[in-house]
Amino acid sequence: MNIVLQISQIVLPALAVLLISYYLVKKFLDHQAEQQQLNLKLKNQESVTPIRLQAYERLILLLERMQPAGILMRSNRPGISVLELQAAMLQQIRDEFEHNLSQQLYISLQAWEKVRNAREEMISLINTAATKVQPDVPAAELAQHVLSQSLEVDKLPIQEAIDFLKNEVRQNFF
């Protein structure tokens, strides 16, 4: 019995020291791993943040370029038909949108949906206006219908999307 007591007097404190040492070393290593993860995240944010801000800028520019007045000014040329003007406006919207498709990686899903909806609504507005004019009238008639339809809406989906993007940037970056 005496030997068991002597062994337990040596083994139990050694076991306690071992367990405490293991716990402290594990806690230290976990803290180091967390610190490295945090440093990596911060370093990553430093390079990703400017790219994300640029994505928001580009999408706002896309939306601004889809505004009815702007797209009409860029598309309307003297002597073109209603169908040519309609096709030119739709092509500009498609080209601009396709050029900025990759920006969806850097914004929220809700923001991307707002951008897509704005594009679809603008295409719908142009097509609806085109159905209200005869194909043989001057393209200015279509331009007037597009502008008047856009003025009938309290807030165009394009403006809603711009406001949403601006708000998201304020919340996430400032």
Q: 35-83, pLDDT tens digit by residue?
A: 999 888 888 778 888 999 999 999 999 999 999 999 999 998 888 999 9
What's the predicted TM-score (pTM) here? 0.75
Query: How do residues 4-16 score in pLDDT, each as one tens digit?
Result: 778 888 888 888 8
The number of residues in the chain equals: 174
User: Residue 39's pLDDT is what?
Assistant: 86
Q: What is the pLDDT of residues 79-132, one digit of tens each?
A: 899 999 999 999 999 999 999 999 999 999 999 999 999 999 999 999 999 999
Which residues contact residue 80 at a Cβ distance below 8 angstroms, ignoring those fewer than 6 apart? 88, 139
> For position 48, what pLDDT does the model report?
85
Spatial separation of the C-alpha atoms in residues 112 and 146, rounded to whole Å: 25
The domains of the chain are located at 48-173
Confidence (pLDDT) at 135? 85
